[in-house]
Amino acid sequence: MAAAASLQLPLAVSPAGSPPPVGPPGDQPGQHQRVPALPQLWLGVHLPQPDRALLQRLAVLAQRFTPRVSLEPPDGLVLEVQGSLALFGGAAQLYRAFRAGCHAASAAPVLTLAPTPLAALAGARSGVAFKVLDQQHLVSAVSVLPLVALRWPPQLLQRLAKLGVYRVGQALRLPRAGFARRFGREPLQMLDQLVARSADLRAPFRVPERFRAKRQFVREREDHAQILQALQPLLKQLGEFLEARQCGITRLTCRLRHRNDLHTDCVIRLAQPEAAAARFLEWFAERLARISLPGPVRSLELRSGELLSRAPVHESLWQPGEHGGGGAAGSLPGSLEFIERLRMRLGELAVHGLICQDSHCPEGASRALSPADPDFRHVAFSSRAQVKTQAPARPLWLLDEPQLLREQQGWPQLDGPLQLRHGPERIESQWWEGHGVARDYYHATDVHGIAVWVFRERQPPHRWFLHGLSG
Amino acid sequence: MNALARLLAHPGIWRGRSLTRIDTLSSGFPELDARLAGGGWPKVGLVEILATHLGSGELRLLLPLLAAVSQQPQARWCTWIAPPLSPYAPALAARGVNLSRILVVRAPQGPQWAPEWATEQALISGACDVVLTWITQPLKPRIVRRLQLATQRGRTLAFLLRPWSSRVAREPSHALLRLGVEPQSHGNRSGMRLSILKSRGGATGEWWVDLEAAQAAAGV
């Protein structure tokens, strides 16, 4: 009890100097399972405003205190700090260090200490100063907490409220068998975990892994070929790193450092996770050739984006054509490489697939599908043909913006009078929302004999527009 | 005689009018198939299509081919490079084109953007069945020749869609085929005048194609 006595934190319910418990904990009344042998101390963190990004940052910060960190999204975090107490010089110092770290990250969460993770979280959620360092005071400390802090379903809380049960202490006093029968095993299990009667296993949080490597040059390098050569071993390391984890990356940054703290970033963004070093080298060669460097390069640094799982690429056992061997275009060697090469040179928006969309408005029915879109892989790799046969006749080319046509005595003109052949097809959509269309479409032929698709507005001023070409 | 037949069967040898050995794909237009060597589009090679206007019918001429190729079980990409407008997905799907095999390459005009380069990349990658490239600026015969060679490397059929000016028509062509397309309506039917300007191993000619009838025959 010496540790608790020396602590200068306000303890919620801990009469100082109370005698240590006598006898095994199993002897205590109401104790049905053995208490875990090792004492634990959990630091609970609760964000008043849910913020997943901030929570992630705090979880990374928490790694400085203990490896046992687990997330309770969207607003909670618990870390087991018993093993680190000696390192920080006691619970009070550790608590203060963590609070300082949170302030540095411009966060002001509610912090609590308790022997079980659930108690730490529930205490933090209820917002009271909740610091319980040893297990014998745990039950009395949690008894005052409202049941709402356990985040049970609202129906369950309502039923308990009908019995006049609002606080954890009242729930703990209910007979176990009856409680399990009326409210289910799960709430009972939670109550047990809350007061350390049963173990509470939590998935540990892991910091997302990234690749980082650096290379310093003895002599400054200016030539692109030399820089690429220096990049090669780093990329080889990256390839091995990714291969070992069966992962790929879609983002890779190469920072070239010059004199006077100048640096140039060369970023590769890919549509699909990639892991082959040779391909990264090829893309960097493509990128570097287009960058003009402000000076000679002193060092290189390679940083990967997040690691993503990658479907392993393997050659089919059967050759294309036999026993259904070979796959769709997406699985052919080189098919995605070629897309990436075009994207590297022409920009990320330059290459896209096509997809139909359900829309009454003609402009909305066709959509460009970026290779970075998850749907793209799905569409490109599915063998199902996407063919629709029942549809009204549509032009093969659609103008990005309808082109206003001149009129002569009510007839639309395009180099000369248009001859309307089929129509009208009335297309209306969402005019009741104010931004829709109400048009009469016609298939027409111009003086040259070109088949076009034109429409006339149904609302005044009834203008004519060219919207498509039959191709 | 036997030795001669064996010699003529050599893949490196082609004879003037009876190019029966080349792999072809039906164009979907019987009159065109009848005049082309081997009875259809070659599976590998470069074809030039000269059109007097955008929308003369050049795309509808290629639709049966695109539909057939994209629906093959082991279809590679059908890549459209520098199309002048947005291809309209519902219309393509309605005429039997499998959209999941369509790839569109469009980039804003800039120093990096050369449709010839993108075309060559698409051809040598071996990942495309068909490449359609729209090029409006004049092309050096050397580049056309280079693209023709690239089609052999990737086993791809490439179409160059170019404006039909008197200058272009006078240029020598390194393509296997050169067609000319001109819009022409007969009465109420929309169609095009199709001319075969050059055909290696096939016949030349000029006739009117009823595109509406062709579309109706395709089951739409």
Q: Are A171 and A147 in contact (CB under 8 A)?
A: yes
**A449 closest CB neighbour out of B118, B122, B183:** B183
Chain A residue with the nearest C-alpha to that of B119: A342
Report if residue A35 sits inside a domain: yes
Q: Which sign does the torsion angle of CA A341, A345, A348, A351 carry?
A: negative
Confidence at residue A20, expressed as pLDDT on a 0 to 100 scale: 41
CB contact under 8 A, A397 and B85: yes
Q: Are B50 and B29 in contact (CB under 8 A)?
A: no
Strands, E assignment, A125-262 = 212-221, 247-257
CATH superfamily of B22-217: P-loop containing nucleotide triphosphate hydrolases (3.40.50.300)
CB contact under 8 A, B90 and A391: yes
Smallest CA-to-CA distance from A236 within A280, A298, A271 is with A280
Percentages helix, strand, coil for chain A, rounded to the nearest 5? 35, 25, 40
Q: Which of B88, B120, B129, B189 is the mutation pick for testing A, counting most A CBs within 10 A? A: B88
Report if residue A464 sits inside a domain: yes
Report if residue A13 sits inside a domain: yes
pTM: 0.63
Kindly state the tokens that stand for A175: 């007979």
pLDDT, one tens digit per residue, over A209-265 is 888 888 888 888 888 888 888 889 999 999 999 888 888 888 899 999 988 888 888
**Total of domains in chain A:** 3
Contacts of B182 in chain A (CB under 8 A): 449
pLDDT at B12 over 80: no
Burial class (CB in 10 A: 0-12, 13-18, 19+), A197: buried
Tokens 């992962």 sit at which residue?
A247
B43 vs chain A: nearest CA distance in angstroms?
Answer: 17
pLDDT at A272 over 70: yes
- Whole-angstrom CA distances from A200 to A80, A113, A171 are 12, 16, 19
Task: Tell whether A387 is within 8 A of chain B (Cβ).
Answer: yes
A153 vs chain B: nearest CA distance in angstroms?
Answer: 45
Strand, helix or coil for residue A258:
coil
pLDDT at A164 over 80: yes
Confidence at residue A57, expressed as pLDDT on a 0 to 100 scale: 87
pLDDT at B160 over 90: yes
In chain B, where the domains are located: 22-217
Q: Which sign does the torsion angle of CA A110, A111, A117, A120 carry?
A: negative
Task: Tell whether A341 is within 8 A of chain B (Cβ).
Answer: yes
pLDDT at A7 over 50: no
Query: Which phi and psi angles does A274 have, rounded to 5°?
Result: -135, 150
Mean pLDDT of all residues in A281-310: 85
Mean pLDDT of all residues in B16-23: 60
CATH code, domain with A264:
3.30.1490.100
Which position has the higher pLDDT, B108 or A172? Answer: A172
Burial class (CB in 10 A: 0-12, 13-18, 19+), A224: middle
How many angstroms separate the CA atoms of A349 and A356, rounded? 18
Chosen domain end from A194, A221, A253: A194
Identify whether residues A174 and A227 lie together within a single domain. no
**B85 closest CB neighbour out of A335, A365, A399:** A399
> Which residues span the domain enclosing A406?
397-469
Angle, CA B178 vertex, CA B173 and CA B184 arms, to 5°: 140
* pLDDT > 90 fraction of chain A, expressed in percent and rounded: 24
Task: Tell whether B137 is within 8 A of chain A (Cβ).
Answer: no
Mean pLDDT of all residues in A134-143: 88
**B122 closest CB neighbour out of A338, A352, A353:** A338
Most confident range (mean pLDDT) of A53-62, A372-381, A433-442 is A53-62
Identify whether residues A177 and A242 lie together within a single domain. no
Identify whether residues A189 and A219 lie together within a single domain. no
Confidence at residue A33, expressed as pLDDT on a 0 to 100 scale: 53
Q: Are A465 and A452 in contact (CB under 8 A)?
A: no
Q: Which of B60, B79, B103 is the mutation pick for testing A, counting most A CBs within 10 A? A: B103
pLDDT, one tens digit per residue, over A16-53 is 444 444 434 434 444 455 555 578 899 999 998 888 88
Identify whether residues A62 and A169 lie together within a single domain. yes
Contacts of B188 in chain A (CB under 8 A): 421
Mean pLDDT of all residues in A264-288: 85
- What is the SS3 assignment for chain B? CHHHHHHHCCCCCCCCCCCCCCCEECCCCHHHHHHCHHHCEECCEEEEEEECCCCCCHHHHHHHHHHHHHCCCCCCEEEEECCCCEECHHHHHHCCCCHHHEEEECCCCCCCCCHHHHHHHHHHHCCEEEEEEECCCCCCHHHHHHHHHHHHHHCCEEEEEEECCHHHHHCCCCCCEEEEEEEEEECCEEEEEEEEEEECCCCCEEEEEEHHHHHHHCCC
How many angstroms separate the CA atoms of B40 and A260, rounded? 65
Please provide the average confidence, as pLDDT, over all residues in chain B: 85
Q: Which of A346, A367, A443 is the mutation pick for testing B, counting most B CBs within 10 A? A: A346
Identify whether residues A130 and A234 lie together within a single domain. no
Smallest CA-to-CA distance from B105 within A13, A42, A354, A139 is with A354
Task: Tell whether A445 is within 8 A of chain B (Cβ).
Answer: yes
pLDDT, one tens digit per residue, over A316-363 is 454 444 444 444 444 455 577 788 888 888 888 889 988 888 777 788
- Whole-angstrom CA distances from B104 to A297, A396, B22, B88, B121 are 38, 14, 29, 11, 14
Report if residue A113 sits inside a domain: yes
Which position has the higher pLDDT, B215 or A339? Answer: A339
Lowest mean pLDDT among A125-134, A320-329, B33-42: A320-329
Confidence at residue A226, expressed as pLDDT on a 0 to 100 scale: 87
How many angstroms separate the CA atoms of A29 and A25, rounded? 9
Identify whether residues A166 and A233 lie together within a single domain. no
Task: Tell whether A386 is within 8 A of chain B (Cβ).
Answer: yes
B199 CB contacts (<8 Å, ≥6 apart)? B35, B36, B37, B176, B177, B178
How many angstroms separate the CA atoms of A245 and A229, rounded? 25
Contacts of A356 in chain B (CB under 8 A): 89-90, 93, 99
Terminal C-alpha separation, chain A: 87
Identify whether residues A12 and A161 lie together within a single domain. yes
Identify whether residues A250 and A178 lie together within a single domain. no
Report if residue A334 sits inside a domain: no
DSSP string, A410-467: TEEESSSB-EEEEEEEEEEESGGGTS-EEEEEEEEE-TT--EEEEEEESSTT--EEEE
- Whole-angstrom CA distances from A277 to A223, A273, A315, B125 are 21, 12, 19, 19
Confidence at residue A420, expressed as pLDDT on a 0 to 100 scale: 87
Q: Which of A379, A387, A401, A452 is the mutation pick for testing B, counting most B CBs within 10 A? A: A387
Which position has the higher pLDDT, A30 or A60? Answer: A60
Identify whether residues A119 and A244 lie together within a single domain. no
Identify whether residues A39 and A130 lie together within a single domain. yes
Chain B residue with the nearest C-alpha to that of A348: B107
Long-range contacts of B16-21 (CB under 8 A, 24+ apart): B16/B201, B17/B201, B17/B202, B18/B201, B19/B200, B19/B201, B19/B202
Segment 25-64 of chain B within 8 Å of chain A by CB:
52-60, 63
Identify whether residues A137 and A178 lie together within a single domain. yes
CB contact under 8 A, A350 and B100: no
Lowest mean pLDDT among A194-198, A380-384, B41-45: A380-384
CB contact under 8 A, A351 and B125: no
Query: Which phi and psi angles does A410 have, rounded to 5°?
Result: 85, -10
Q: Which sign does the torsion angle of CA A460, A465, A468, A469 carry?
A: positive
Number of cross-chain residue pairs from A and B with Cβ atoms under 8 Å apart? 191
Mean pLDDT of all residues in A274-281: 86
Q: Which of A366, A382, A442, A445 is the mutation pick for testing B, counting most B CBs within 10 A? A: A366
pLDDT-derived band at A434 (thresholds 50, 70, 90) equals low
Identify whether residues A171 and A219 lie together within a single domain. no
How many angstroms separate the CA atoms of A370 and A194, rounded? 49
Strand, helix or coil for residue A5:
helix
CATH code, domain with A81:
3.30.70.270
